[in-house]
Amino acid sequence: MAMVIGKVKSGAGLLNSVREISGVDVAECLQCKKCTNGCPVVPMVKVPPSEVIRRLQFATDDSIAQADLVWMCLSCELCFSRCPMNIDMAAVMDALRIISVRNHKAKQKGNVPLFNRLFLKTVSIFGRTYDLGMIAAYKIGTSSFLQDMGKFPTMLQKRKIALFPSFKADKKYIRRIFRRRK
Amino acid sequence: LKGVCRIVVENEKNMKYAYYPGCSAESTARDQYVSVREVARVLGIDLIEPKGWTCCGATPAHNTDRDLSIGLPAANLLIAKSMGLDMVVFCAACYNRMKMANYEIRSNPDRRKELAVLLGEDYDGSVEVHHFVEVLVKNVGMKKLQEAFTHSLDGLKVASYYGCLLVRPKLATNFDDPENPTIMDSLVTLMGGESIDWPHKVECCGGGFALTRTDIVVELSNSILGMAKAAGAQCIAVACPMCQVNLDLRQSDIKKVKNINHNLPVVYITQLIGLCLGLSPAQLGMHKCVVSPKPVIELVRSNERRDVL
């Protein structure tokens, strides 16, 4: 697979941030491509996991934090599990997502960052997730009201989704954790 | 007599666990919760919910923040520690997060210190985390299970589907073989069913994107359902609430997008076990399945074991 690499000064900065956040040393990668061959979303992405690592190794420009894989990675950990060098690729992807959100450059199909924010918001409020509230907020945020709407009658009829949030969680404790995090 | 008493007491102690249901147990996976509870009740496993348990953070936490990814599951493990019990989990995502928290805390002293500040209490990563299926196979034991079964899965071809988060990464979860796990297959065989050999046991169903990228979910779920069907499965047994909801609920989308009607029931392994223990489908929450598991239920009903009566 051919790839074009444009070297700019800021590249090493990204490599350092990834290392700092994930604690992973990407220099150990042998480019065996087991991660890419197993990754379930590779048929749908432009930049496969092995290329993400290669670009990080070469300390190329920051654009890799905007690669489509960053927000299409499912965190299924297959890459990490098969890596002969035990490189925690899933943690690298987490780091890239954190950097991408930090740089306000995470604008991709599906708006996963919004979903993540809403998920954690309901957790910080109720101590547990509240599906219905989260789904409603996500649909408002992404204007995707029609998507999956046909499923709600069945789900509600079968009580496959809770109408109300749970109030049994230790909310004080969880709020303290959210407050104290860096 | 004293010796017998001691064995009984020790046995009692061994079968008592802190049980973390996970947020989905209160919503989309109520059926998982009731089936685990019922099976545990019949087999005499004491499951106690940690008081005030909170969300493990799942994928959004580790996508967003390193502190939350470890802090949220560790907060619950601390409650289990105060109870003096091992933790039992059914949800694969919660299981994965808790195992990862333990793994990071045990292997990285700096992280442990940071976490102690976050939680206001030191946690040493000492609470053992088990999946409910592990408890059944390793602690209850195959012999006791077999004796308890009143019905069998004779004539049923089951595809055991493990998904990603139970088996990966092996380093942290140590659940079973990460490429070819067999623990659920062994349960299916024990129940008298035919556990089919198929290559998609540990493929990802796209669970984390259930709301955000349904296009990816449809693609991945379709490939799993298609492979199970091609291998001759009459139903899929799962051990993860996200997998169940995805594979079950998305079959209508697959029909719409790809014009393929799989019509393959997706049930929890605990529901199959419950049926074989003589529990009713209603007790196991089986009416919540979107693709009707009626053929499975009827088959088990007709397979009453005569030798135990």
pLDDT in tens, B101-123: 999 999 999 999 999 999 999 99
Which amino acid, B151? H
- Segment of A139-148, A159-168, B185-194 carrying the highest mean pLDDT: B185-194
pLDDT at A6: 62
pLDDT at A30: 94
Cα nearest neighbour of A96 on chain B: B63
Chain A touched by B216 (CB under 8 Å): yes
Q: Identify from A70, A128, A157 which residue to disrupt to test chain B contact, counting B C-beta atoms within 10 A and taking the largest count.
A: A128
Check residues B28 and A148 and name the one with the higher pLDDT: B28
Q: Helices B241-249 & B92-107, crossing angle to 10 degrees?
A: 150
Q: Which of A21, A128, A148 sits opposite B23 (nearest CB)?
A: A128
**For residue range B171-181, what is the model confidence (pLDDT) as tens digits?**
899 999 999 99
- A44–B216 C-beta distance less than 8 A: yes
Question: For residue B3, what pLDDT band results from cuts at 50, 70 and 90?
Answer: low
What's the token pair of residue A54?
């290669």
Other beta carbons less than 10 A from residue B251's beta carbon: 23
Question: For residue B186, what pLDDT band results from cuts at 50, 70 and 90?
Answer: very high
Question: For residue B5, what pLDDT band results from cuts at 50, 70 and 90?
Answer: low
Residue A75 has pLDDT above 60, yes or no: yes
Chain A touched by B170 (CB under 8 Å): yes
Residue A159 has pLDDT above 80, yes or no: yes
> Which stretches of chain B are DSSP H helices?
2-14, 30-43, 58-64, 66-83, 92-107, 109-119, 132-134, 142-148, 170-173, 183-190, 214-230, 241-249, 251-258, 269-276, 294-301
**For residue range B42-100, what is the model confidence (pLDDT) as tens digits?**
999 999 999 999 999 999 999 998 899 999 999 999 999 999 999 999 999 999 999 99
d(CA B233, CA A51): 37
Q: Which residues pair with B15 in a beta bridge?
A: none
pLDDT at B235: 96
Q: Identify from B31, B171, B177, B209 which residue to disrupt to test chain A contact, counting A C-beta atoms within 10 A and taking the largest count.
A: B209
pLDDT at B307: 67
Chain A touched by B52 (CB under 8 Å): yes
Q: Helices A131-142 & A112-126, crossing angle to 10 degrees?
A: 150
Q: Which residues of B268-300 are buried (b: 16+ CB within 10 A; e: fewer)?
A: bbbbbbbbbbbbebebbbbebbbbebeebbebb
pLDDT at A9: 58
Check residues A5 and A83 and name the one with the higher pLDDT: A83
User: Average pLDDT for residues A4-28, to the nearest whole number?
Assistant: 80
Other beta carbons less than 10 A from residue B226's beta carbon: 16
Alpha carbon of B268 to those of B160, B228, B237, B286: distances in Å?
Answer: 10, 16, 5, 9
Residue A181 has pLDDT above 90, yes or no: no
Query: Do residues A69 and A40 touch, judged by C-beta distance below 8 A?
Result: no
Residue B22 has pLDDT above 80, yes or no: yes
Q: Which of B64, B117, B252 sits opposite A120 (nearest CB)?
A: B64
Residue B161, helix vs strand vs coil: strand
Mean pLDDT across chain B: 92
**For residue range A102-136, what is the model confidence (pLDDT) as tens digits?**
887 667 788 899 999 999 999 999 999 998 888 88
Query: Do residues B177 and B167 touch, judged by C-beta distance below 8 A?
Result: yes
d(CA B222, CA B220): 5
pLDDT at A103: 83
d(CA A180, CA A52): 32
Chain A touched by B71 (CB under 8 Å): yes
Other beta carbons less than 10 A from residue A15's beta carbon: 19
d(CA A96, CA B144): 49
d(CA B38, CA B44): 10
Query: Do residues B13 and B45 touch, judged by C-beta distance below 8 A?
Result: no
Residue B139, φ and ψ in degrees, nearest 5: -95, -45
ipTM over 0.85? The verdict is yes
Q: Which of A158, A161, A168 sits opposite B287 (nearest CB)?
A: A158
Residue A4 has pLDDT above 90, yes or no: no
User: Average pLDDT for residues B185-190, to the nearest whole number?
Assistant: 96
Question: DSSP string covering B182-195, please?
Answer: -HHHHHHHHTT-EE
DSSP B49: P
Residue B184 has pLDDT above 90, yes or no: yes
Residue A31 has pLDDT above 90, yes or no: yes
User: Considering only CA atoms, which of B201, B200, B221, B202 is closest in space to residue B210?
Assistant: B221
- Indicate the range of A153-157, B27-31, B84-88 predicted with least confidence: A153-157
